[in-house]
Structure 1
Amino acid sequence: MRTTPATSSVTGVGHLLRLILRRDRVRLPLWLVGLGGSIVASALAVPPLYDTPEKVAGYARTVGASPVSYLMSGRQVGLDTLGGIVANEISQVAQLGVCLMVVFLVVRHTRAEEESGRAELLRSTVLGRHAATLAGLVYGVTAALLLGAITSISMLAAGLPAGGSLTYGVGLALLGVAYTAITLVAVQISTSARGALGLAGAAVAVGYLVRGIGAMQDNALVWLSPFGWAQGMNAFGDERWWPALILLVFTALLLWLAARLMAHRDFGGGLIATRPGPARAGRLLDTPFGLATRLQRGLLVGWAVGLFLLGVLYGAVIPTVPDLIESNPEMADVVGASGQAAEDALVDAFLGYIYLFMAVIACGFVVASVLRLRAEEEAGRAEVVLATPVSRTSWMAATTTLALVAAVALTVLMGLGLAVGYGIGSGEWDQVLTQVAGQLAYLPGTLVVGALAAALYGLLPRGTGIAWAAVALIALQVVLGQLLGLPDAVQAISPFWHLAAVPVDDFEIVPYATLVLIAGALVAAGLWGYRRRDAVAG
């Protein structure tokens, strides 16, 4: 009698990878274009700002001695060279970006698949137990390597030394690979995609802060973080490759741990069991708004803490702005000021740039919050809610209202964070109302972006990715619009372009009110469309 050989634990990896690439044929390019485009644009835009030895020396003297710079970007070597300056300027976006990219991509194709039940259907075919994990690993590693290659190529295109460009790109890729392994461990621990994202996101935050605190104190704490190991390769300085071995060994140990954990857990389960809920629901869950709040409380808390701390960091930088621009007057062009402007005018220009930048970051929250509707719909949970007396209008309106109200609250928190950071940096604590009011001046732009996501969900549910593309384009316009000299017709696409540049310009009520009305019209259009389309759109 002929027997069929036992299925290997990794059987079907190739088929899964092709399926993953088919499903992410838009998502992966968006990540690479968004992050890679920002890195390329920054790498090409920074060198013209530091085209003389005096400007390079001024950067090294100011930024290179700033504790806030250490916290945010670590101790980048070679700040007295153009390569070191470029590496320092792109490090925040590149390092945090590659980590967050692999976290979201890997969780999407591992734990989220188990949670939705799709992985169980695939397992009913000829598919090995570890195939999904290995496919997620290969996918995350590939994405990290691609971003590392884009970064190295952009540095070479900017005319930077080949050795430093290669070292920085490899370090960035290995950092992404390490957090791919961390994410796979988180996937084995949590029973939900949100839990896995929370654990892996916390690991990113801890690693980033440990490196930053160690850099501020100039001690060995930096060597307890993967961020510190990647930066320890000393790109554009005395390049060294042994920290790459630490990253590889760390990654290998985590992959071994992930494999062991998966072998000892139930399929669909995790090491941390889900706690049973209370026998009776609280009053908060009696309303659609209460349910939306309960579903998004983790998202709300995480963004609130993150944006407040970001405000504190930027607020602490404000007192150093005059010295930085004095050493390099062309930096004033980035924040829309004149290098010969008075000190107060320079600070105001910088504040306006920070207000705008943080408002754009808040757009990420409001889009994620509104598009939770789409996630609930795809998972089939929205149908369960709508089978009760809850109407479509109230269901969508509750989540959209929560997102927009939370955007207002987060805007206030960002202003408070700026005031606290400014107080820490300058010793002046009378800026609370000023900073909160300044940040609120940019709120309508954030509301319009969130309302756009609501309109897309109601009218064109398969096109909700356009909302994320809008956030990426607006961010690129804010960061590089001045340097690239984009025409007004292009910059006008951003709702923020129509607002007064507070505090440089006087506040104007007409564009403020107009954008609020546009946001209301977009939400109304989304509600109208949702009432008329299929409850579950393909």
Structure 2
Amino acid sequence: MKSVTGTRALVRLALRLDRVRLTVWIVGLAVMPMGTAANYVKLYPTQADLDAVSGVLANPSLVALSGPLFAKSIGALTTWKIGATEFILVALMSLLTVVRHTRTEEETGRLELIGATVVGRRAPLTAALIVAGIANLAIAALAALGLMATGLPVAGSVAFGLATALVGILFAAVAATTAQLTRSGRAASGIASAVLAGAYLLRAVGDTGPTWLTWLSPLGWALHLRPYADERWSVAGLFVGFMVLFAAAGYALVARRDMGAGLLPERLGPAEAAPSLRSPLALAWRLHRGLLLGWLVALLLTGAVMGGAAAGVADLKSPNQQLTDILTRMGGSAGLTDAFLAAIFGIIGMTAAAYTIQATLRLRQEETGGHAEVLLATPVGRLGWAASHLVFALLGTALLLAAAGVTGGLAYGAQVHDIGGQFGRVLGAALVQLPATWVLAGLGVALIGLAPRLGTVAWAGLIVSALLFELGALFGLSQWVVDLSPFAHVPKLPGSAFAATPVVWLIVVAVALGAAGLVGLRRRDIPTA
């Protein structure tokens, strides 16, 4: 018991530090299912409407995107539409929370100071898991109550809330393990996020192909708990078993390593830097290359899987008009396949924007870690230092989108036996997302330069942008509200004609935000706590 001494105090501290961040996560994730269900009640008022759309959603391409539809009901349709998004977001919230209060605190040295008091070795990890658990249970309870308030069955609503909480707590346990493996909080989050990305791809492939792959994915388990469709409560046992496994691994590993160290072996560098490392850009490459290469592999696979799945959209028979409206709103009006491709690459663009923000916020991490101060004591200027990192945020994102476009174009072209005709169209659909990601990079630079303590708000910008773009129309929000998302202004290629004006304006906004941030960075003190 001594190893968890001080847990209560650390829980209170973590809740105080995250009171705004977690409140936003909880409210947003609790409202999304309720809003989706309420709007589907209006869109599909009769059983005939539900029967029509249910037949369309059995298409393999749509199953790969969001999973199978298990019943012809508003509840099942709500789970199909919002379930995968809800589970991914709650997993991200959980893994980031656990890493932030364990490995990141250790990396900055604050955990060592706390450990010098009457605090047990396992108390920080225990506190982080408790905080993540509280947030997940709050989301589950509020989401279930909200779904019941729309008139949906109690059992299905509880099952949806339970699935959400189980996914979140499982990925909190995954993060408890990855936080012990490396010295960097960013790397720990990256490994846990890679597990999440792999879970999504396994589910997408398994739901349309070898079904056993679905049962290797926690996201597949959550959907196959089957809210509103003869709930399979026994699936929860899979979550509990793996939660215990990963949490136990985290507790075992935290006692087997030194404070500040990770279990993965680190290669010692040479005593003197090579000539190729004697510039800010070369140093930035060493810092960013692991993250960039990991994202590159993930986007290559995602583009190939989703590009291959797009060919099946052409087999849709008598599509429901509301579904057609939703797809064309997301992806243009030149046919469902083009609309599907545009929607898919819109999602890939928002996914790549997560790398953009990670790479941009590396500036702030270097500052708070004390590394920037050392570097700037040399002849390196502030703008040169900032530019060395922003090169990888901006051009690295371009590389990721191009990679997804290349594999997506090859996969889709091979499926329709027209690689030459489709490759360029699909690649263009990927690259046109780039200016919107740069707006978020500009937001991150502006926050770092003008309000450095609020730098992580850039993540909120991405989440809000994604929710407005994906769900704004479904929720019936005014167009000017949806237009607050930079992704709402991206031309819907390949289904619509390319329009240069919105692209130019997105670049102008990105440049303006970035310039304001760089001016602020030149003028303020470094470091700023």
Same topology, TM > 0.5: yes
Give SS of 2:321's match.
coil
Deviation digits for residues 294-326 of structure 1 (CA, Å, limit 9, x no counterpart): 211222123223333333344334334455483
Query: Cα offset for 1:500?
Result: 4.4
Query: Partners in 2 of 1:499 and 1:222 — Cα distance?
Result: 33
Equivalence for 1:362: 352
Give SS of 1:103's match.
helix
Answering whether residue 420 of structure 2 is matched by residue 420 of structure 1, we say: no
Aligned residues: 528
Query: Cα offset for 1:385?
Result: 1.4
Equivalence for 2:14: 20
Answering whether residue 310 of structure 2 is matched by residue 318 of structure 1, we say: yes
Percent of paired sites with the same residue: 38
Give SS of 1:330's match.
helix
Equivalent of residue 494 in structure 1, options 477, 485, 490: 485
Equivalent of residue 173 in structure 1, options 155, 159, 165: 165
Query: Partners in 1 of 2:488 and 2:194 — Cα distance?
Result: 34
Query: Cα offset for 1:173?
Result: 0.9
Query: Cα offset for 1:10?
Result: 1.5
Answering whether residue 387 of structure 2 is matched by residue 400 of structure 1, we say: no
Query: Cα offset for 1:492?
Result: 3.7
Query: Partners in 2 of 1:246 and 1:337 — Cα distance?
Result: 38
Instruction: State whether residues 299 and 400 of structure 2, in contact with CA within 8 Å, keep that contact through their aligned partners in structure 1.
Output: yes
The amino acid across from 1:274 in the alignment is E
Answering whether residue 230 of structure 2 is matched by residue 249 of structure 1, we say: no
Instruction: State whether residues 76 and 231 of structure 1, in contact with CA within 8 Å, keep that contact through their aligned partners in structure 2.
Output: no
How has the CA–CA distance of structure 1 residues 209 and 360 changed in structure 2, closer, same or farther, with 3 Å as cutoff?
closer
Give SS of 2:419's match.
coil
Query: Cα offset for 1:505?
Result: 4.4
How has the CA–CA distance of structure 1 residues 225 and 505 changed in structure 2, closer, same or farther, with 3 Å as cutoff?
closer
Query: Cα offset for 1:424?
Result: 4.8
Query: Cα offset for 1:459?
Result: 1.8
Equivalence for 2:426: 435
Equivalence for 2:320: 328
Instruction: List gaps (5 residues or longer) in structure 2.
Output: none
Answering whether residue 369 of structure 2 is matched by residue 379 of structure 1, we say: yes
Equivalence for 2:57: 63
Instruction: State whether residues 327 and 339 of structure 2, in contact with CA within 8 Å, keep that contact through their aligned partners in structure 1.
Output: yes
Instruction: State whether residues 184 and 255 of structure 1, in contact with CA within 8 Å, keep that contact through their aligned partners in structure 2.
Output: yes
Query: Partners in 1 of 2:90 and 2:298 — Cα distance?
Result: 18
Instruction: State whether residues 289 and 402 of structure 1, in contact with CA within 8 Å, keep that contact through their aligned partners in structure 2.
Output: no
How has the CA–CA distance of structure 1 residues 390 and 493 changed in structure 2, closer, same or farther, with 3 Å as cutoff?
same
Instruction: State whether residues 33 and 147 of structure 2, in contact with CA within 8 Å, keep that contact through their aligned partners in structure 1.
Output: no
Give SS of 1:64's match.
coil
Give SS of 1:536's match.
coil
Query: Cα offset for 1:75?
Result: 4.5
How has the CA–CA distance of structure 1 residues 219 and 513 changed in structure 2, closer, same or farther, with 3 Å as cutoff?
closer
How has the CA–CA distance of structure 1 residues 365 and 53 changed in structure 2, closer, same or farther, with 3 Å as cutoff?
same
Instruction: State whether residues 58 and 324 of structure 1, in contact with CA within 8 Å, keep that contact through their aligned partners in structure 2.
Output: no
Query: Partners in 2 of 1:427 and 1:50 — Cα distance?
Result: 37
> Is the deviation greater in 208-217 or in 180-189?
208-217
Instruction: State whether residues 54 and 69 of structure 2, in contact with CA within 8 Å, keep that contact through their aligned partners in structure 1.
Output: no
Instruction: State whether residues 34 and 472 of structure 1, in contact with CA within 8 Å, keep that contact through their aligned partners in structure 2.
Output: no
The amino acid across from 2:262 in the alignment is G
Equivalence for 1:3: none
Name the TM-score, length of structure 2 as normaliser.
Answer: 0.90
Answering whether residue 401 of structure 2 is matched by residue 411 of structure 1, we say: yes
Query: Cα offset for 1:471?
Result: 1.9
Query: Partners in 2 of 1:251 and 1:345 — Cα distance?
Result: 44
Query: Partners in 2 of 1:131 and 1:313 — Cα distance?
Result: 42
> Is the deviation greater in 297-306 or in 120-129?
297-306
Query: Partners in 2 of 1:74 and 1:106 — Cα distance?
Result: 28
Equivalent of residue 523 in structure 2, options 521, 532, 536: 532
Give SS of 2:379's match.
coil
How has the CA–CA distance of structure 1 residues 308 and 18 changed in structure 2, closer, same or farther, with 3 Å as cutoff?
same
Query: Partners in 2 of 1:448 and 1:258 — Cα distance?
Result: 37
Instruction: State whether residues 336 and 482 of structure 1, in contact with CA within 8 Å, keep that contact through their aligned partners in structure 2.
Output: no
The amino acid across from 2:470 in the alignment is V
Give SS of 2:228's match.
coil
How has the CA–CA distance of structure 1 residues 412 and 325 changed in structure 2, closer, same or farther, with 3 Å as cutoff?
farther
The amino acid across from 1:64 in the alignment is A
For the aligned residue pairs, the C-alpha RMSD in angstroms reads: 2.9
Instruction: State whether residues 59 and 315 of structure 2, in contact with CA within 8 Å, keep that contact through their aligned partners in structure 1.
Output: no
Equivalence for 1:467: 458
The amino acid across from 1:522 in the alignment is L
Query: Partners in 2 of 1:505 and 1:207 — Cα distance?
Result: 32
Name the TM-score, length of structure 1 as normaliser.
Answer: 0.89
Give SS of 1:188's match.
coil
Answering whether residue 451 of structure 2 is matched by residue 457 of structure 1, we say: no
Give SS of 1:189's match.
coil
How has the CA–CA distance of structure 1 residues 250 and 482 changed in structure 2, closer, same or farther, with 3 Å as cutoff?
closer
Equivalence for 1:197: 189
Equivalent of residue 104 in structure 1, options 75, 92, 96: 96
Query: Partners in 2 of 1:56 and 1:316 — Cα distance?
Result: 28
> Is the deviation greater in 23-32 or in 249-258?
249-258
Taking the TM superposition and a 5 Å limit, the aligned residue runs for 1:24-43 are 24-43=18-37
